[in-house]
């Protein structure tokens, strides 16, 4: 049934566009998968999962199952608190989590509760989606952030499966693409099939409404990325933290996290200047992509800087100036061994920032560059609680000056650390509960049809 607010011509246009997309995605799928495999973007042995071919048994055939889907590591980490919450509330309920990228797989597979099944998500082509849904038979699909895939959403709607979009966001670029004459009927039809949309911000809510999401389906609950850092470290993580603290030997330390290619030049120049007045200073440099560690290593060798790669397990000595973290999934732990965290992906115009709530949760003084993309709403929310919670910089010169102050003024540093941690605590309080209560409320009709009581 088309939504009442959409004209009949738009509904017909949406269906026509969907049929075109359906045919095109079916034709393109083999080439897309081959290209991704040749680029090393697919798991060498688990790539058939991308065609909807399972590598795990479906628990309790005929019973309800909840499917969570997140494309990559950031979205997957935001989904984890909700997954854990669901496990606690509904022990014994089969839960499936899918992601798309290898980096998400490497990290998230080790963080999931034992009862949760992990699979790679199917490509959005009719055959893969139908095979996947036909095998797993989910009663509820929970999508993260911007995962609007026509075949997945339309197939779920045809089968009466409720679909919720959490932490919903749409970049201005995507919004402009969907807003054109050819895109609007299709996206409007897709969005009308969702049971619930929980947007990241008011701006995001407006964009979804302008794309004809029924207003009664849009509800606010907070940003799940605040919940990512709200996890106490386990025994293994605590031992790692203790070991690193012993190696660092109370030296003044700062960390540059999620650094993209090109940003390392800014970070290393700043560190070189800081060492002139603070000779024992240690930099923990964490590239966003571990493969970029090679470029960082070459740059450090060229500058004859003493550095250690984390993957080698080499001990950090008093002569070590840079500790390069070329491993995955340790960022949350590393925030706990440094008083200052500079969050990258924000110092070049082509970038769009990263989540700084994990650094705030660990009690770091948090700094970020000028280019923060959709994380700007998080920046504003933290500033509203305390302007010292996050310091946004215009570039390299301001970064150097801010670090000089924090490394020389312990009271200024402590004030920023406390502001960040307090602001995070306020923002994260209850967000997972609010999100799951909305999911339970707005998906309940469809859930009950399939026998799930949430």
Q: Which sequence positions are flagged as catalytic?
A: 75
The partner residues of 391 in beta bridges, in order of sequence, read 367
Cβ count near 320 (within 10 Å):
18
Backbone angles phi, psi at 368, to 5 degrees: -145, 160
Is the Cβ–Cβ distance between 209 and 197 less than 8 Å?
A: no
3-state secondary structure of 97: strand
**What's the CA gap between 326 and 338, in Å, rounded?**
17
3-state secondary structure of 392: strand
Is the Cβ–Cβ distance between 258 and 343 less than 8 Å?
A: yes
Taking the alpha carbons at both ends of the chain, their separation in whole angstroms is 26
Is the Cβ–Cβ distance between 334 and 323 less than 8 Å?
A: no
3-state secondary structure of 422: helix
DSSP 368: E
DSSP 224: T
Residue/partner pairs of 81-87 with CB below 8 Å, 24 or more apart: 81/224, 81/227, 81/228, 81/230, 81/231, 81/432, 82/142, 82/166, 82/224, 82/227, 82/432, 82/435, 82/436, 83/112, 83/113, 83/116, 84/113, 85/432, 85/433, 85/436, 86/436, 87/113, 87/115, 87/116
- From residue 391, give the alpha-carbon distance in Å to each of 70, 241, 352, 354, 403: 29, 26, 16, 14, 11
**What's the CA gap between 44 and 281, in Å, rounded?**
41
């Amino acid at each position: 049934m088309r939504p009442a607010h959409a004209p009949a011509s738009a509904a017909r246009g949406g269906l026509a566009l969907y049929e075109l997309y359906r045919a095109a995605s079916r034709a393109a799928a083999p080439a897309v998968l081959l290209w991704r495999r040749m680029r090393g973007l697919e798991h060498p042995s688990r790539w058939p999962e991308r065609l909807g071919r399972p590598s795990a048994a479906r628990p309790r055939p005929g019973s309800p199952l909840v499917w969570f889907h997140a494309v990559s590591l950031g979205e997957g980490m935001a989904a984890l608190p909700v997954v854990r919450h669901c496990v606690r509330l509904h022990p014994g309920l089969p839960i499936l989590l899918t992601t798309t990228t290898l980096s998400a797989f490497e990290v998230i597979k080790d963080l999931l509760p034992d009862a949760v099944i992990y699979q790679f998500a199917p490509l959005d082509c009719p055959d893969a989606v139908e095979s996947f849904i036909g095998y797993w038979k989910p009663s509820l699909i929970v999508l993260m952030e911007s995962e609007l895939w026509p075949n997945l959403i339309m197939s779920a709607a045809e089968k009466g499966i409720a679909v919720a979009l959490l932490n919903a966001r749409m970049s201005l670029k995507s919004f402009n693409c969907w807003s054109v004459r050819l895109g609007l009927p299709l996206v409007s039809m897709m969005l009308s099939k969702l049971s619930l949309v929980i947007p990241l911000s008011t701006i995001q809510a407006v964009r979804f409404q302008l794309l004809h999401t029924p207003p009664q389906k849009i509800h606010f609950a907070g940003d799940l990325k605040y919940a990512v850092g709200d996890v106490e470290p386990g025994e293994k993580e605590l031992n790692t933290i203790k070991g690193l603290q012993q190696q660092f030997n109370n030296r003044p330390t700062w960390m540059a996290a999620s650094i993209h290619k090109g940003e390392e030049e800014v970070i290393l120049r700043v560190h070189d200047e800081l060492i002139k007045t603070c000779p024992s200073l240690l930099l923990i440099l964490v590239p966003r992509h571990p493969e970029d560690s090679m470029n960082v290593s070459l740059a450090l060798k060229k500058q004859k800087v003493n550095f250690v790669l984390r993957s080698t397990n080499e001990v950090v000595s008093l002569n070590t100036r840079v500790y390069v973290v070329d491993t995955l999934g340790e960022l949350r732990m590393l925030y706990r061994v440094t008083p200052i965290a500079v969050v990258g992906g924000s110092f070049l115009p082509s970038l769009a920032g990263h989540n700084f709530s994990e650094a705030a949760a660990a009690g770091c003084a948090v700094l970020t560059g000028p280019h923060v993309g959709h994380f700007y709403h998080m920046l504003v929310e933290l500033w509203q609680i305390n302007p010292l919670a996050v310091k946004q910089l215009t570039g390299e010169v301001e970064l150097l000056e801010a670090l000089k102050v924090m490394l020389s003024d312990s009271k200024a540093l402590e004030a920023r650390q406390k502001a960040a941690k307090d602001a995070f605590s306020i923002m994260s309080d209850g967000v997972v509960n609010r999100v799951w209560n909305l999911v339970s409320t707005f998906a309940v009709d469809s859930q009950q049809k399939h026998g799930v009581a949430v």
